[in-house]
């Protein structure tokens, strides 16, 4: 069974631009979570989607948004990029959500200049 895939793997943007990252979960998984990972803050929860509905959201500004499609694929968008948004963005999928193992994708490394 194929694992979680994320595209693109690397991205360089400039301040003020916006970016869209994509995540395809493991086949049959309906829950997708997004995380931001930085050296100083570790893994920070962004949001979680299940059946196209956002069920939980972390403490990030409104510039960070996401959505999930009917095939469980998910996208996250960051508008008006700031230097501090440079990070590894990871998505993780699970069958249905809490108490279940999450499987992580390889991540998208975003550099904002």
Partner 1 sequence: QKEVEQNSGPLSVPEGAIASLNCTYSDRGSQSFFWYRQYSGKSPELIMSIYSNGDKEDGRFTAQLNKASQYVSLLIRDSQPSDSATYLCAAVGPGTYKYIFGTGTRLKVLA
- Write out the residues near partner 1 by the rule CB under 8 A: 31, 33, 35, 41-45, 48, 50, 55-56, 58, 90, 92, 97-107
Q: How far is the CB of 16 from partner 1 (least distance, A)?
A: 28
Q: How far is the CB of 14 from partner 1 (least distance, A)?
A: 24
C-alpha span between 46 and 90 (Å, rounded): 10
Task: Identify which of residues 73 and 79 has a Cβ nearer to partner 1 in the complex.
Answer: 73
Task: Identify which of residues 65 and 88 has a Cβ nearer to partner 1 in the complex.
Answer: 88
The CB density around residue 1, as the number of other CB atoms within 10 Å, is 6
DSSP assignment of 66-105: EEE-TTS-EEEEE-S--GGG-EEEEEEEESSSTTS--EE-
Joined tokens for residue 35: 């995380």
Q: How far is the CB of 57 from partner 1 (least distance, A)?
A: 9
Q: How far is the CB of 46 from partner 1 (least distance, A)?
A: 10
Residue 90, classified by CB atoms within 10 Å of its CB into exposed (0-12), middle (13-18) or buried (19+), is buried
Task: Identify which of residues 16 and 96 has a Cβ nearer to partner 1 in the complex.
Answer: 96
């Amino acid at each position: 069974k194929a694992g979680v895939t994320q595209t693109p793997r690397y991205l360089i943007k400039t301040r003020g631009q916006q970016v869209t990252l994509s995540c395809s979960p493991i086949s049959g998984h309906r829950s997708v979570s997004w995380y931001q990972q930085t050296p100083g803050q570790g893994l920070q929860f962004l949001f979680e989607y299940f059946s196209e509905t956002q069920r939980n959201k972390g403490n990030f500004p409104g510039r960070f948004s996401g959505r999930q499609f009917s095939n469980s694929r998910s996208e996250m968008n960051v508008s008006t990029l700031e230097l501090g948004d440079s990070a590894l963005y990871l998505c993780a999928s699970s069958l249905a959500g809490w108490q279940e193992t999450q499987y992580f994708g390889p991540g998208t490394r975003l550099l904002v200049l």
